[in-house]
Structure 1
């Protein structure tokens, strides 16, 4: 496997090269964004690691330039303790970088081996992923003939559950930007994100919309018009009273928070009275849970694979016939806005839920 390391620190490049070559990877280096683009003109790696702060083009700008020209997976390496770095890393995820990881600090650090193992595992997994890069020539339209609310959804929805993994932030940016902030239901999100970056991810999501974004706490009531994330190392669920049910992750589930856990919890608690959305990501997490929601009569949606950075998660749901609709992110937002405007308000939600 071939890797291009982009970092302005010669010490960090030397460390990364040593770690990667010890694992049998082939390595090229670039000390800034301009040099990275020059290297890529004649060299095709399987994956790119990207620093955030560099002279000239920063990591966000370099990632955007690379993804405009090449279908290459990009992994951001930064320091989770540096708020500016973490914020820039979120912007790189927004344009299509697949993951953000903390830089290995060096052999003197107690968690160095864990950081190295996570880095190598991430590189090996993401280097095999097919990247779908098709910039929108024009925005996808909402469904031409939108079915009646009853046809789409036999019972009034009480909650929207969203799942995403690698490539998900790019879809979430479009979805949240297009979504009317006064949604008459709470939104729950299971997004795979590396440890240490959840606060920055929450702040980035909040910057995309007027909708408030919260880290859920156990047993809290989910409020209409707000977006909720699982706290770090926890799975997110809900009960029939729209209260949070958190469970600590364990080794039995490869992803935390788990999309399947979220969707299955929503299916068990709300049945048909929910909307569930499967966005970009690798693997199959969420497909079985979305299928269960579909069987319960919920409105289930998969992202149009051609619009996803990574189409594996949406395709897994589509192949299971778990999705009633297959839409690009802006069309998903248009549909939610239309359903929200059809007489649904916090005063007439089933069960009498009020704004909180």
Structure 2
């Protein structure tokens, strides 16, 4: 497997090159975004690792430029302790990077082996993902509603959203178009590396009109608030529309889309909306199918609009989707249901 390392630190490049070559990878290096673009003119790697805080072209701009010209998976490496770098990493995910990981510090660090194993595993899996070029042309700000059944007959009390790799790009398109007065709480299960949830919350708050919060076990879910799972916690719904968190117990995905959707299906039945966005694998397909069986409105991102279409395709393959829409269409549908006031009289008004 061929890897292009983009980082302005020669020490970090040397460390990563040694580790990756020791694992059997072919490695090229670039000391910044500009050099990376020059290298890519004659060398085509299977995957790119991208630093975020670099002189000149930062990791966000370099990622966007690479995905404009080449269909290459990009994994962001950053130091979680650096607030600026973590924020830039969120923007790189928005541009289409597939994952963000904490940089390995060196063999002396207590968690070095864990970080390296996480890096190698991520590179091997993400290198297999088929990526589409992402031209940065402006997209329409409005979308017409689709034909057919727009919603279930019951009044929605909650919106559950799931996403994985490529999800932040879809989330930006969807959430930035939502009307600020959503008459229901929204719960989001987004696969993201531990330690980045706070930065992810701040980024979401900067792109959408909703309040964004990291969920706390037992708290009452309030309309117009987007809730995220804390690190190492599965996010679900308990009695009286309260947060129900469970500690991770060996599951492959945490937070898990299937866990969220199944919890919502069991607790709310037809009085919920489920949304499956971009991602690799099948997480969420079974849970969304359960929501469908219980009468909920289930919406799947149109595969052609997803950075990675595996999760949407898996849900469609299980016939779990009542609607298949691009992110801006999902936003238009949610806004339409909200404006019709179908849930205003039944949603709890807060604590």
Q: Does residue 96 of the first structure (1) align with residue 112 of the second (2)? A: no
Aligned counterpart in structure 1 of residue 306 of structure 2, from 286, 308, 325: 308
- Give, in angstroms, the shift of residue 353 of structure 1: 1.8
Report what 1:328 is aligned to.
326
2: CA distance, partners of 1:271 / 1:74: 38
Q: Does residue 159 of the first structure (1) align with residue 154 of the second (2)? A: no
Report what 2:118 is aligned to.
118
Q: Is the 8 A contact 1:132 1:306 kept in 2?
A: no
Q: CA 1:97/1:182 → structure 2, altered by over 3 Å: closer, same or farther? A: same
2: CA distance, partners of 1:131 / 1:323: 23
Report what 1:58 is aligned to.
58
Report what 2:348 is aligned to.
353
Q: Secondary structure at the match of 2:241?
A: coil
Q: Does residue 245 of the first structure (1) align with residue 244 of the second (2)? A: yes
Q: CA 1:76/1:134 → structure 2, altered by over 3 Å: closer, same or farther? A: closer
2: CA distance, partners of 1:344 / 1:223: 17
Q: Is the 8 A contact 2:4 2:29 kept in 1?
A: yes
TM-score, structure 1 normalization: 0.95
- Give, in angstroms, the shift of residue 355 of structure 1: 3.9
2: CA distance, partners of 1:240 / 1:275: 18
Report what 1:339 is aligned to.
337
Report what 2:258 is aligned to.
260
Alignment of 1:189-204 (within 5 A): 189-204=188-203
Aligned counterpart in structure 2 of residue 282 of structure 1, from 280, 283, 307: 280
Q: Is the 8 A contact 2:176 2:209 kept in 1?
A: no
1: CA distance, partners of 2:147 / 2:72: 37
2: CA distance, partners of 1:8 / 1:42: 21
Q: Is the 8 A contact 1:142 1:332 kept in 2?
A: no
Q: Does residue 142 of the first structure (1) align with residue 144 of the second (2)? A: yes
- Give, in angstroms, the shift of residue 207 of structure 1: 0.6
Report what 1:23 is aligned to.
23
1: CA distance, partners of 2:134 / 2:328: 15
Q: Is the 8 A contact 2:185 2:226 kept in 1?
A: yes
- Give, in angstroms, the shift of residue 55 of structure 1: 1.7
- Give, in angstroms, the shift of residue 56 of structure 1: 1.3
Consecutive unaligned residues of structure 1, counting only runs of 5 or more, are none
RMSD of aligned Cα (Å): 1.4
Consecutive unaligned residues of structure 2, counting only runs of 5 or more, are none
2: CA distance, partners of 1:344 / 1:225: 15
1: CA distance, partners of 2:3 / 2:40: 11
Q: CA 1:344/1:233 → structure 2, altered by over 3 Å: closer, same or farther? A: same
Q: Does residue 205 of the first structure (1) align with residue 204 of the second (2)? A: yes
Q: Is the 8 A contact 1:171 1:308 kept in 2?
A: yes
Q: Does residue 233 of the first structure (1) align with residue 232 of the second (2)? A: yes
Q: Secondary structure at the match of 1:237?
A: strand
Q: Is the 8 A contact 1:132 1:307 kept in 2?
A: no
Q: Is the 8 A contact 2:155 2:343 kept in 1?
A: no
TM-score, structure 2 normalization: 0.97
Q: Secondary structure at the match of 1:184?
A: coil
Q: CA 1:321/1:146 → structure 2, altered by over 3 Å: closer, same or farther? A: closer
1: CA distance, partners of 2:139 / 2:241: 38
Report what 1:44 is aligned to.
44
